[in-house]
Amino acid sequence: MDTLVRKIISDTPDEFAKDIVTFQEEYGTKTTFEELNIDQLRTKLWEQLICCLLDDARSSTTHQQCLSTLRILSRDKTDINECTSDERINLILNYAALGDASEHTPSTSVIIESLKLLSNLIYNSTYVQQKLETPCLFRLIDRMRKYNSATSSEMMFFDTRIVFLITALKKDTQSLIKDILRGDECLIKILENISTQCEQEKTNTIKVEDALLACEVMAALFNLYMNPVHWTDKDNYRMKNLISILYKLLLFECEKCEDLQRNITNLLMVAPYSCYSTIIPPAQDTGKHVFQNTDMQAVSILLKFLDKRLDCKDDLIGNLSAIVTTFIRMVKAEKLIRKYTRMQILPPLKDVMHRPEEGTTLRAKLCKLLTSPLTQLRDLVAEFLFILCKENVSRMVKYTGYGNAAGMFANKGLLGLNREKAGYSSESEDSETEEYLQHKEQINPVTGCFEHPKPNPLEGMSEERKEYEALQLVGLIDQLTRQGLVQPCRIGDDGKPQPVEHVLELQKQPPRQQYYFDLDDSD
């Protein structure tokens, strides 16, 4: 590489144009350039490329190739701040049609290449992040506001990427772009145009380039809405309009469906509770996903997305946190979403022969996570299931087994209690199927499934023998306690476990230490 780079640095204009194309062909996929760490080759190459960009006598094609070469080099963070300066940033902004120069407007291909370079620089250079000031962002949002059907999809994509990057890496720009420049309105308009175009073409499929643009737009909107400082009625109205667009996008097919659904989920996660009703509009017909005259297609699609994410083997927190949090918020906000979601995840019990965590149903997959070592994910899933059970302890035990839910009960101070939180609808939703009633008496509430009667281990023992075995057990527990392997606890007045100094303390007030499993509640 160093031979080619040295040649480019000392090239004649004609050779230069050819050699930078060769550089792109040979090193276009590289992300680091250790070879440029000697003899200041990196600095000299940057300087030569910038000189070309400053030369108005060079062709637009050569300028584009220079920008493309700089884009490749800008993937490497090495000395990136040293290779940039105010003058160079302004030059690149001018080529991106975002600077203050007004002599001429670059070609679309040059603008797009400049935007790609600028994206890399924003991502890798703290210096560039600090230098992107209000005038530049104003011009960017103003251009986005003027988009029309002739605007390049690629230009829209990289304009939006710059909004995403700067709002992610420089938090103070979030309020500037949203509250002062009203950039969120432009972004929502892009999504609306994508949705409208699909409807006008009477197709149920989003083009790949439109899906990629939609994902980038939603990522930028997430940054703008994730930390609202002043949420106004206008913001609320705008968010409801946004969710109605997300509803439509969820119904379209696309090669990038999973990416689209992931970004929609992220946006729904930061929506105010009052806006979720928009995703369940009144039903227009009597289709498959109609529930109580309400269209649940979007909720059904999100449930399928949740099911796919539950099958992931890696990065469970990253794959599941957003979708589970979104469902927690939706089922809290909308009674109909909670009821429909409960029917899909916790339908009336029929299979009582297997533990709740066994199988491939949504209920089984979620119950498996109740004992996950990933406490953040475990607590999210427990909260989700608990809300679906209307925060009723007995109902939670029925569907998940006390052993799976005990950790959550301990955290919430619900051990030994059997109550339903106020605020839920009072109508019953019967879950006691014929199969459940037939085996009800043999269902072990700890495991949550049917168990054959087991012989009484104390049968045939004398009273003296029983007392001896009890004392042996006390001794073993005491030994484990002294070794720090276990910590006996009793249930306190707050419903949480409280450590005891000696196991004999457990003999005091024994009724308070029992959990009363009442599985006769109607759901």
- pLDDT digit string (tens) for 465-500? 888 988 898 888 888 888 888 777 777 777 777 787
Which among 103, 140, 134 has a CA at the least distance from the CA of 118? Answer: 140
Please tell me the total number of residues recorded for the chain in this structure.
523
117 has pLDDT over 80: yes
Contact 166, 131 (CB under 8 A): no
Burial degree of 226 (CB within 10 A; 0-12, 13-18, 19+): middle
Q: Is residue 78 part of a domain?
A: yes
Which residue type, as a one-letter code, is found at position 15?
Answer: E
End residue of a domain, out of 132, 150, 180? 132
Say yes or no: 115 and 14 in one domain: yes
Distance CA 353, CA 449 (A): 6
Q: Report the pLDDT value the prediction gives residue 334, as an integer from 0 to 100.
A: 96
Q: Report the pLDDT value the prediction gives residue 151, as an integer from 0 to 100.
A: 94
Say yes or no: 7 and 128 in one domain: yes
520 has pLDDT over 50: no
Q: Report the pLDDT value the prediction gives residue 519, as an integer from 0 to 100.
A: 44
Distance CA 363, CA 399 (A): 8
CA 38 to chain centre: 42
Distance CA 510, CA 513 (A): 5
Say yes or no: 17 and 74 in one domain: yes
Q: Report the pLDDT value the prediction gives residue 131, as an integer from 0 to 100.
A: 85
Structure-block tokens of residue 483: 């070794």
Four-residue CA torsion sign, 20, 23, 29, 32: negative
Q: Is residue 98 part of a domain?
A: yes
Q: Is residue 87 part of a domain?
A: yes
User: Looking at residues 119-147, what average pLDDT do you find?
Assistant: 93
Query: Which of 79-83, 162-166, 175-179, 478-482 has the lowest average pLDDT?
Result: 478-482
What is the three-class DSSP state of 57?
coil
Query: Which of 231-235, 277-281, 292-296, 330-334 has the lowest average pLDDT?
Result: 231-235
Q: Report the pLDDT value the prediction gives residue 320, as an integer from 0 to 100.
A: 96
Contact 184, 228 (CB under 8 A): no
Confidence of residue 441 (pLDDT cuts 50, 70, 90): low
Q: Is residue 119 part of a domain?
A: yes
Say yes or no: 4 and 110 in one domain: yes
What kind and span of H or E run contains 295? strand 294-295
Q: Give residue 109's domain range.
A: 1-132
Q: How many domains does the chain have?
A: 3
Q: Report the pLDDT value the prediction gives residue 513, as an integer from 0 to 100.
A: 44
Say yes or no: 407 and 481 in one domain: no
More confident residue, 502 or 514: 502
Say yes or no: 389 and 481 in one domain: no
Q: Is residue 501 part of a domain?
A: yes
Q: Report the pLDDT value the prediction gives residue 187, as an integer from 0 to 100.
A: 97
Confidence of residue 522 (pLDDT cuts 50, 70, 90): very low
What kind and span of H or E run contains 360? none
Q: Is residue 32 part of a domain?
A: yes
Q: Report the pLDDT value the prediction gives residue 202, as an integer from 0 to 100.
A: 78
| Pairing assessment for the beta strands 497-499 and 489-491 based on DSSP bridges | antiparallel
Say yes or no: 13 and 110 in one domain: yes
Distance CA 88, CA 388 (A): 57
Say yes or no: 42 and 126 in one domain: yes
Confidence of residue 13 (pLDDT cuts 50, 70, 90): confident
514 has pLDDT over 60: no
Q: Report the pLDDT value the prediction gives residue 129, as an integer from 0 to 100.
A: 92
Confidence of residue 424 (pLDDT cuts 50, 70, 90): low
Burial degree of 88 (CB within 10 A; 0-12, 13-18, 19+): buried
Say yes or no: 386 and 503 in one domain: no
Say yes or no: 55 and 6 in one domain: yes
38 has pLDDT over 70: yes
198 has pLDDT over 50: yes
Question: What value does the mean pLDDT of the chain take?
Answer: 87
End residue of a domain, out of 132, 152, 175? 132
Say yes or no: 494 and 381 in one domain: no
Say yes or no: 478 and 397 in one domain: no
Q: Is residue 5 part of a domain?
A: yes
Structure-block tokens of residue 171: 């938090």
Identify the bridge partners of residue 295 per DSSP, sorted by sequence position: 290
Which among 307, 478, 497 has a CA at the least distance from the CA of 415? Answer: 497
Q: Is residue 42 part of a domain?
A: yes
Four-residue CA torsion sign, 204, 210, 216, 218: negative
Distance CA 28, CA 130 (A): 28
pTM of the model: 0.86
Q: Report the pLDDT value the prediction gives residue 409, as an integer from 0 to 100.
A: 80
User: Looking at residues 175-197, what average pLDDT do you find?
Assistant: 94
